Structure 1
């Protein structure tokens, strides 16, 4: 009887976790892994400033960026926003649980590993592709919010130093001036990413066959795919919180 009671208790405690479709989607789609890769990039950015800043300024930089990009807080903000913006996560979960979805996630995670980023620091190799594959990639480039998400990540990493400077010199920029600078930089980054986006996607998804790539593009262009990727972009922005006061972030 004691064993039966323990089994029932275990089932009761476990069901809510498995029943949380969005929580499963967050894991299966690679969000925690991508956040870990972003943390690696922030650490690398911190190291680049080590020998060029006075010790006190450098310590402020590390402290402020660690506070802003605290892993659990980033996950909490991103997942809460995804939950709000994606009322029905089941279709996206079904895709990312499929063999193709897992292959897509694996390709994306590989592309953002620190060793892969270091290998391609001077730029990605030019990928040759057939007209058919280029056409599919063009559709995918329009469907995925890669420009927007890439700009947010770049701004977040660039903001590592800006946070520290602002904390040491309060009022350095007025609110409106700072927002105007941020918006202008965001648009420039989106334009830069867009210039080579097709080649970037060809490189990231190079191990997908034409048929797999087309199936992926079909999902991304579908109503369910659009709903997921639009929600994902808002979740990326919530997690990174670019331009928000670090002291007010949870």
Structure 2
């Protein structure tokens, strides 16, 4: 299920500027995906309620609400997107097209709370022709799905550890370098784990796209313009989630 969170790349609220960046955020579904992320965060908070002391649970909720408040995430993520994505127009044109709208709709559907709950035990095994598998393989390599999924997983899981550390200072008993090494190691393990099922995940999410549509999508994702967009999106996710930082 972690891999589905790749589709939460677009979690920011709509910024104040009325320009191509602003239009891109709207067309690519960022506001809706941000709402889906908040729903997932609330569900994660509730899962800890019966397993943590009340004081720790209250700290968890307070910390996560602060770190993942729309304003805080917007401030970090939007600044990073602005810095990283120099020209938003190619991506804007793509996502304004009928195919782009179809892709966004597929992504929004996959990350709805009811769909995440439906597939909580795993996605169905998708059957596909050799041609379709080949196209999906290109998308798997072009989209930063594994990396973004790992960041979301680390962010949600890290809130409990941060809260416990706040309640019991020095609990971790290690220096910042050791903590960062552990975080990097966990990140790499998550990326590998998510990657094991990525082809099937993308086959499921984009199951309503035809082979020619998938091929056009892969062509965009592999183009210089597509690479610039997805690199900027991943950078924004990392900045917005502030994994390994205090998130303030």
TM-score normalized by the length of structure 2: 0.90
Q: Give the conservation status (yes or no) of the 8 Å contact 1:151–1:190.
A: yes
1:155 is the counterpart of 2:154: yes
What does 1:100-249 align with in structure 2 at a 5 Å threshold? 100-173=99-172, 174-246=175-247, 249=248
State the 1:171 CA deviation. 2.8
- Once residues 31 and 171 of structure 2 are traced to their aligned partners in structure 1, the CA distance between those partners, rounded to angstroms, is 34
Q: Give the conservation status (yes or no) of the 8 Å contact 2:66–2:72.
A: no
| Structure 2 residues not aligned, in runs of 5+ | 1-15
Q: Give the conservation status (yes or no) of the 8 Å contact 1:42–1:157.
A: yes
State the 1:182 CA deviation. 0.6
Show CA shifts across 1:205-231 (max 9, x none).
001111111100000000100010011
RMSD value, Cα = 1.2
| Structure 1 residues not aligned, in runs of 5+ | 1-15
State the 1:75 CA deviation. 2.0
TM-score normalized by the length of structure 1: 0.90
- Once residues 178 and 164 of structure 2 are traced to their aligned partners in structure 1, the CA distance between those partners, rounded to angstroms, is 16
Instruction: Report the number of matched residues.
Output: 231
What does 1:44-123 align with in structure 2 at a 5 Å threshold? 44-123=43-122
State the 1:17 CA deviation. 4.7
Bigger mean CA deviation after superposition, 47-56 or 147-156: 47-56
Show CA shifts across 1:93-117 (max 9, x none).
0001111111111111111111111
- Once residues 17 and 189 of structure 1 are traced to their aligned partners in structure 2, the CA distance between those partners, rounded to angstroms, is 35
State the 1:36 CA deviation. 1.3
The structure number with the bigger radius of gyration is: 1
- Once residues 144 and 96 of structure 2 are traced to their aligned partners in structure 1, the CA distance between those partners, rounded to angstroms, is 21
